[in-house]
Amino acid sequence: MDEPARRPAVPKVWEVPASTLVVPVHIPWDQVSDWTEAAIPLTVRGEGSGSKTLSAWFLTHEWRYAWTYHLSRGSLALGWKEGKVQVMAPIAGTIQAWWDTLPGGTTAHVEANVGVESSLAMTAGWRLRSESQVLLEVTQAELPIGISWNGTFFGTTINIARPLGDALRPSLGDLARLVDAQLDATDFRPLMEGIWQDLQKPRAVGSVGDLWFVLKPETVSVGALSGTSQDWEVDLRLTAHPTMTLGVQPMPTVTTLPPADSLVPGNPSWLVTLPLAIDWSVLARQAVDSQVLGRLRSVKAYTDADRVLIRLEGKFSAPGTDTTVDAVIWFGALPVWDPSTRSLRLTDATLDIRTSDLLAQTASWMLQSSWIHKLEKSLVWDLGSELDRWKAQASFALGSLPLGPHLTLEAMLDSLEVVDFALTDRGPVVLTRMEGRGSVRWVR
């Protein structure tokens, strides 16, 4: 019997919800510390004056003084506090003061901590925006006032922390403005463009080489910057449509880096769509193995629009009798996914018209609805064990999957379910959805 005419598969477009992933990007302090080290001078010199009214020995007197300071700073310390970056340095040195009514002068040791604190954010153009303020804490600034006689000091001390701070603050204000200018000039676009390109490349999963993972990022938003004394960190949240496909390596759809959006609060979700392509030959072999209909020698299946066209060849048994007939029959059916059994079954089976004409002459019992119903029940493909195998393989592969020179995907899959299926010319494609949690780790 000639093969019946077939229609091409009906294309189906799946609308899959986007996944969200957190990508913590770590950036070393090296570049920032280099220019801050150069920007903050090693020594600071200045001068000032003041007055102090003191009462002693039942006398009240206003003491006037002038002073100069020479301070040296220690090593810079970069860190984070309450979401803000701090650049701090200890300074220490001497102050020499001269009093208007006392001979000679006095020398005092001075210590302070100075620096700037900056609030940082990312602009849509992937540049930093900085707002800095001065940090100043004078921890020791006591000037002695009085005279020494025979090694004994007669007098008192005055605290000049406030006037010293007022003297230092203008230069620190210049430093804060310099820090803002330097940070505002920091351009993250080259770094982010490299990351964005790496995230779009197909990655081989497993050792066989026929399973491919593609992240397909679409948008990116930026959270607050934070960090440690070693580096700083910014959380990027990607929306993507990750897929896993079987067969030939897919061609990536390369997109340009989108603008940086503000991070919207919410927990990340992780959805991976995995289209499992099933060749009709696999279904055909299962039908041959089942032998529910009789002794089948050959089973072939073909796509016919949204239905399947099946050719059976073998010796068929009549129900309840020893009657058999050797025949080739063609029939069409509608494939349906059964979620309760995780299997693909056939419904609405109809015999090809030429097959019906032939069976009417040779085996009319094969035209009965009970036999046709048995025909439908005999061709069921159990996908449960196959889905479990794919979940285990995908969980292992996605647990640590390199996405580029510095990026590694770390995903945990919690569940897998079939959400839909469609037909292609080669066979059915079952759309599975795996849910879990995922992040991308930055590896230096």
> In this structure, are 37 and 179 located in the same domain?
yes
Q: What is the pLDDT of residue 287?
A: 62
* pLDDT tens track for 396-440: 877 888 877 777 888 888 888 888 888 888 888 888 888 877 777
Instruction: Clarify whether residues 173 and 44 are in a common domain.
Output: yes
- Output the domain CATH number for residue 106: 3.15.10
Full DSSP string of 226-249: EE-SSEEEEEEEEEE--EEEESSP
Residues 284 and 152 in one domain: no
| Residues 159 and 301 both lie in one domain | no
What single-letter DSSP state applies at residue 187? B
Contact residues for 228 (Cβ-Cβ < 8 A; gap 6+): 79, 80
Q: Rounded to whole angstroms, how far apart are CA atoms 403 and 411?
A: 12
Q: Quick one: 288 and 146 in the same domain?
A: no
Range 272-292 average pLDDT: 67
Residue 14, pLDDT > 90, answer: no
- What value does the CA radius of gyration of the chain take, rounded to a whole number of Å? 40
Q: How confident is the model at residue 430, as a pLDDT? A: 81
Average pLDDT, the chain: 78
- Whole-number pLDDT of residue 263: 66
Of 382, 397, 423, which marks where a domain is finished?
Answer: 382
| More confident site: 284 or 173 | 173
Task: Select, from the ranges 62-76, 108-122, 343-357, the one with the highest average predicted confidence (pLDDT).
Answer: 108-122
Q: Tell me the pTM.
A: 0.61
Specify the residue for token string 């769509």.
273
Domain holding 361, by residue range, is: 280-382
The pairing of beta strand 231-240 with beta strand 217-227: antiparallel
Chain segment 193-239, per-residue pLDDT in tens: 988 888 888 888 766 666 788 888 898 888 777 776 667 777 788 88
Q: Looking at residue 162, what is its pLDDT?
A: 85
> What percentage of the chain reaches a pLDDT higher than 90?
3
> Which pLDDT score, from 0 to 100, does residue 260 have?
87
pLDDT of the residue at 188: 82
**210 belongs to a structural domain:** no
Q: Which tens digits make up the pLDDT trace of 246-255?
A: 667 888 788 9
CA nearest to 86, candidates 127, 57, 115, 112: 115
Q: Is residue 307 part of a domain?
A: yes
Of 184, 218, 246, the last residue of a domain is 184
Tokens of 25: 């990007």
**CB-based contact 419:432 (threshold 8 Å):** yes
User: Is 48 within a domain?
Assistant: yes
Residue 30 or residue 192, greater confidence: 192
Q: Give the pLDDT score at 54.
A: 59
CB 36 within 8 A of CB 180: no
Select from 116, 151, 184 the last residue of a domain. Answer: 184
pLDDT of 118 > 70? The answer is yes
Identify whether 418 is part of a domain: no
Mean pLDDT calculated for residue range 165-191: 83
Nearest to 356 by CA among 331, 380, 375: 331
Number of domains within the chain? 2
Q: Could you read off the pLDDT of 63-94 as tens digits, one per residue?
A: 677 888 888 988 888 778 877 888 888 999 98
Residue 406 has a pLDDT of: 73
Q: Does residue 258 sit within a domain?
A: no
Q: pLDDT band at 149, cuts 50/70/90? A: low
Residues 166 and 303 both lie in one domain: no
Residue 443's pLDDT is 66
More confident residue, 249 or 292: 249
